Amino acid sequence: MLKGLLYTHFVSVILFLLIYMIKTFLLLTNKKEALVKFTKIVKVPEMIISVLFLATGVYLLMQFGLTNLLLIKIVVVLLSIPIAIVGFKKSNKILALISFLMIFSAFGLGEVNKKKMAKQNVDPAIADTKNPNYDITKHGEAVFTAYCQRCHGTGGTNGPGGLVLTVTTTDRATKLDRVINGTNLMAGFKDVLNPQEIEAVVTYVETLKK
């Protein structure tokens, strides 16, 4: 379900930006009639898209938690709304352009937010491969708790559907690739985790399969 929500959010953001971009372009190029026509055509779809975008955004926020960058992004988007409304109502190009740039930069921040992931603490005793008691699954579990649990839940059991790792059908090699390079909605961990940590966490994820 979470996966579906993430897609819905992503697609509604793209559509929202697209409509917004066309409107701003029409305003800036003095295509008044076209702007009125376009605004009329997209009125209902735009409303649906905005609701989807906000509702999924709020839900995802509750799931993933708030980071500083995300907070800035939300403030920028909220501030841009009144500027946009006034800008289009008064056909004020400068205001329209400002609000457009604000929304676009917020989108850029969102992408940065997705890619940036801080190094977390994993107990060095568990991570020490030279220790005769080194257990790769335990190491993987510790890495999982530190990096993956917030999205995949304890033991990979989060939510009905999308992110559940216990019912996955992919093989080890695919999982390894997903963790290293990411998949469309999950950023890759190649810059955050070292190869041993990646091996360990995938070994652990393999044990979750029911």
Residues that bind ligand HEC (CB under 6 A): 3, 6, 147-148, 150-152, 162-163, 168, 170, 175, 178-179, 183-186, 189, 201, 205
Q: Of 155 and 162, which has the nearer Cβ to ligand HEC?
A: 162
Nearer residue to ligand HEC within complex by CB, 9 or 23: 9
26 within 8 A of 40, measured Cβ to Cβ: no
Taking the complex as a whole, how short is the minimal distance between the CB of residue 40 and ligand HEC, in angstroms? 36
CB-based burial of residue 62 (10 Å sphere; 0-12 exposed, 13-18 middle, 19+ buried)? exposed
If the CB atoms of residues 6 and 27 are measured against ligand HEC, the closer one turns out to be 6
Shortest Å distance, C-beta 30 to ligand HEC: 42
CB 11 within 8 A of CB 48: no
> Cβ of residue 43: shortest distance to ligand HEC, in angstroms?
32
Q: Which residues have CB under 8 Å from 14's CB, separation 6+? A: none
Are 1 and 161 spatial neighbours (Cβ–Cβ below 8 Å)? yes
- Looking at the Cβ atoms of 121 and 133, the one nearer to ligand HEC is 121
CA atoms of 78 and 96, how far apart (whole Å): 15
Least Å distance between CB 59 and ligand HEC?
A: 13
Distances (CA, A) of 206 to 80, 104, 143, 144: 45, 39, 14, 12
